[in-house]
Amino acid sequence: MIMKRTSLFIFCTLLAGLTACSVKKQLKPDAGFLKVADQSFADAASQYKVMMKRLPADRFPKTYHAATDKLETSGSDWWCSGFYPGTLLYLYQQTKDQVLLTEAERILKVLKKEKDNKTTHDLGFMMYCSFGNANQIAPKPEYKDVLLTSAKSLASRFDPKVGCIRSWDSKDSDFLVIIDNMMNLELLFWATRETGDSSFYKIAVTHAETTVKNHFRPDYSSYHVINYNQQTGEVQKKRTAQGYSDESAWARGQAWGLYGYTLMYRETKDKKYLDQANHIAQFILNHPNMPADMVPYWDFNAPDIPDAPRDASAAAVMASALLELYKYADKSDAAQYYDCAGKMLKALASPKYKAGTGSNGGFILEHSVGHLPQKKEVDVPLTYADYYFIEALKRYKES
């Protein structure tokens, strides 16, 4: 068993090296926008200093309500809890501001206990976006232990009969899986690279395979939720809980799929995942309802377009995904992806979407949509919009 794990670890290490070598010559970033990006990092750091002063010691930011000047917060068990420390750490990398690192390290101590949380599929968001970033900046045995325990907790939700990690807990006859869950697989790949234990890798691949088979329509748009029969693994229902309708293309759901299959190709080098990511990208970028500034409406099929709310969070996730996908794509697609990601970021960094310093409760971006059908978090700032915006700016700067 030790020899097998060691061999697998060596294989994964070599594969990671091949992945890095496969990245083609990068396209050239806009020199003028690089200055805007640096200013955005500085502005974002100022914003998060505003936020940290308002944040209760054991709470995490969710959103901000301008009408009442209220900062809405959550406990560490909320699926978005990892984005606040994750953003702080990204900003520390760019600014070297020790205040940001100190605050990130403080809030990580509050978040740490969630490594044992087996009631959620969102441990990738919660723990890899936070402790994963921290471990990249300054590796520590403590961080590795948190991440590995988190991966084990996430893996405990996998059902081999269904071939997926359970997303939302429900009655026994249902097994609910959402497209968002593709984002949590990165934690499992890390666990295999770190330990040589292939079980994490196999779970991630099996989940991705099942999702390709059942989540996507012929045009490569995706449903939000698939309800499987836990006993047989058969699909019972396909729906879109946070979108306009079951058959509509909820914008952030499309973004999760794009990002998820891009990382699947990075981690496996299996071309079918690259093909899937390319198909999703083409659906998004060529959709007739994509606005000129590339910040999508909350749902591509919203009935009140062009008056429907935009979703800055979806644009941020898309931009970050495209700034990785272009490295693997052929020349013409790469140019399109890079150009569109740049347009998204330029829009998000403009006053139309980026809040003025000292406003917006300390959040960076305005105009995101969480769950419009339930009238929750509509046209407000959201922590994951901030996180993926900063990640995308970072990727653009490094391209």
Distance CA 229, CA 169 (A): 13
Closest C-alpha to 320, from 291, 282, 281: 281
Q: Record the tokens describing residue 40, joined without a space.
A: 């955005």
Torsion-angle region of 392 (φ positive above 0: left; ψ -120 to 50: alpha; else: beta): alpha
Does 59 count as an annotated binding residue?
no
Tokens of 299: 């749902």
List the catalytic residue out of 97, 122, 299, 386: 122
Whether residue 180 lies in the annotated active site? yes
Q: Does the annotation place 180 within a ligand binding site?
A: yes
Of 250, 220, 390, 396, the closest CA to residue 311 belongs to 250
For helices 312-325 and 383-398, what crossing angle results, to 10°? 30
Phi, psi values for residue 164, rounded to 5°: -145, 165
- The helix (H) or strand (E) run that includes residue 155 is helix 141-155
Peptide bond into 56 cis (omega under 30): no
Is 395 annotated as belonging to a binding site?
no
What does the alpha-carbon distance between residue 156 and residue 256 come to, in Å, rounded to a whole number?
22
Name the amino acid, one letter, at 82.
G
Asked if 339 contacts 30 with a C-beta cutoff of 8 angstroms, the reply is: no
**Would you say the C-alpha torsion 157, 251, 132, 275 has a positive or negative sign?**
positive
Residue 389 CB contacts under 8 Å (≥ 6 apart), including other chains? 312, 316, 319, 345, 348, 364, 365
Indicate if 122 belongs to the active site. yes
Contact 9, 195 (CB under 8 A): yes
The CA-CA-CA angle for residues 105, 313, 245, to 5°, reads 135
Q: Could you say which of 180, 197, 299, 386 is catalytic?
A: 180
The string over 290-323, giving b where at least 16 C-beta atoms fall within 10 Å of a residue's C-beta and e elsewhere, is beebbbbbbbbbbeeeeebbbbbbbbbbbbbbbb
Structure tokens of 262? Answer: 């891009």
Q: How far apart are CA 226 and CA 240, in angstroms?
A: 9
Q: How far is CA 123 from the centre of its chain?
A: 12
The residue type found at 305 is I
Instruction: Tell me the binding residues for substrate.
Output: 122, 180, 240, 252, 256
Instruction: Tell me the binding residues.
Output: 122, 180, 240, 252, 256
By annotation, the residues acting in catalysis are: 122, 180
